[in-house]
Amino acid sequence: MNALTFTSPFELIPGDPARGLVLVADHAKRALPETYGALGLPASELERHIAYDIGVEAVTRALSARLGVPAVLGGFSRLLIDPNRGIDDPTLIRQLYDGTIIPGNYPLPPEERQNRIERFYQPFHHAVAEAVDGVRQTTGGAPLIIAIHSFTPSLLGRKRPWEVGVLWDIDNRAAGPLIAALRADGDLTVGDNEPYDGAYPGDTMHQHATTRGFPYALIEIRQDLIAGQDGAIAWAERLAPMLEAINTRPDIHQVKHFGSRTDHM
């Protein structure tokens, strides 16, 4: 199937909920419904990081298979609407991204904004909630939620020095051990809340983990390292034992409300 062919707002990769872990890949795909065309963009723009997180789909599929856990993939380009944003976030539907104007998003009537929320954004988040609730109901404990993302090696002319970053808000039960494991694994430059800050009001982790007291971490891998299948598989193999170890920690499946930095913004 063509990578740009839209089929659903999400894809659920089945796995064993008794494992206690759910993978989420908000920006896994760059598909656009036929009625939107290419949002007025040339095809080359849909190959860029502005359209999706390059390499993330392959990493997430490989991780899901190795760990035997369910995963939820976003089924549409974030240029249509960004599932990793809060409803009130001004970048929910971007009109300009990394120097590129998105003609199909400007102007955007309020009715079309609501249409995209109802047709794409909400179904994706319902799928994430169902996957998380499935683990919760099966195990009786707090699900460990791991989000997989990737970042461009440079943005707005600035090079990024990290190979990988781990984002978190206040609860670092998963993020802390993961950062330590990555730093101990070879010559990696590992970002702690880099290249982005993990405290983001209304994002996927805030909605499904922080507000519910569930442990989580958001992993950002530099895109040039996973753009090819071999690199994606290698990173899945690197991460799998780390996540397995974190998933078996004594306190990891307890519901703990640490609050959130975003709650006070």
Rounded to an integer, the average pLDDT of 229-234 is 98
CATH of the domain at 245: 3.40.630.40
Residue 175 burial class via C-beta count within 10 angstroms: exposed 0-12, middle 13-18, buried 19 and up: buried
Between 66-70, 125-129, 256-260, the lowest mean confidence (pLDDT) is in: 256-260
Residue 255 lies in a domain: yes
Give the pLDDT score at 258: 84
Whether 217 has a pLDDT exceeding 90, the answer reads yes
158 pLDDT tier (thresholds 50, 70, 90): confident
Residue range 23-66, pLDDT digits in tens: 999 999 999 999 999 999 999 999 999 999 999 999 999 999 99
Give the pLDDT score at 146: 98
Whether 9 has a pLDDT exceeding 70, the answer reads yes
Residue 28 lies in a domain: yes
Residue 213 lies in a domain: yes
Residue 2 lies in a domain: no
216 pLDDT tier (thresholds 50, 70, 90): very high
Give percent of the chain with pLDDT exceeding 90. 88
Tracing tokens 């702690």 back to the chain, one arrives at 192
Give the pLDDT score at 159: 87
The mean predicted confidence, pLDDT, of the chain is 94
Between 138-147, 208-217, 236-245, 256-265, the lowest mean confidence (pLDDT) is in: 256-265
The DSSP code sequence of the chain is --TTB---SEEEEP--GGG-EEEEETT----B-GGGTTTT--GGGGGSTTTS-TTHHHHHHHHHHHHT--EEEE-S-TTT--TTS-TT-TTSS-SEETTEE-GGGSS--HHHHHHHIIIIIHHHHHHHHHHHHHHHHHHSSPPEEEEEEEE-SEETTEE---SEEEE-SS--TTHHHHHHHHHTSSS--EEES-SS-S--TTSHHHHHTGGGT--EEEEEEEGGGTSSHHHHHHHHHHHHHHHHHHHTSTTTTS------GGGG-
Cα–Cα distances in angstroms (integers) from residue 5 to residues 59, 159, 170, 202, 263, in the given order: 20, 32, 38, 28, 38
Give the pLDDT score at 56: 98
Residue range 106-156, pLDDT digits in tens: 999 999 999 999 999 999 999 999 999 999 999 999 999 999 999 999 877
Whether 193 has a pLDDT exceeding 70, the answer reads yes
Give the pLDDT score at 260: 64
262 pLDDT tier (thresholds 50, 70, 90): low
Of the chain, the end-to-end C-alpha distance in Å amounts to: 43
The boundaries of the domain holding residue 88 are 10-264
Total domains present in the chain: 1
Cα–Cα distances in angstroms (integers) from residue 14 to residues 42, 70, 72, in the given order: 35, 5, 9
